[in-house]
Amino acid sequence: MKKVKQTDKDELRTEYKRSDFPKGLVRGKYAECLRESSNVVVLKPEVAQAFPNQEAVKNTIWGQTSKTELT
């Protein structure tokens, strides 16, 4: 019986099996970390229509925030 050559560990394969990952696959493994480090705000469509671009949103928010609230 012939031995099958093992491919390099660094080589990408066209397909992977669950058994290729001995520790298992975890869905959303880094989701919480990303959520904590992100500061993205999604506006409702009707609110977004009031602003032509992100600069207008930023100026409005900064205009509503007093300097004493930032310290």
Single pTM value for the model: 0.41
pLDDT digits (tens, 9 = 90+) for 36-54: 888 888 889 999 999 999 8
* Local structure of residue 62 (DSSP, 8 states): H
pLDDT reading at 13 higher than 80? yes
Distance between CA 23 and CA 54 in Å, rounded? 42
Asked if residue 25 lies in contact with residue 18, where contact means CB atoms within 8 angstroms, the answer is yes
The identity of residue 54, as a single letter, is: Q
Q: Chain centroid to CA 69: how far?
A: 29
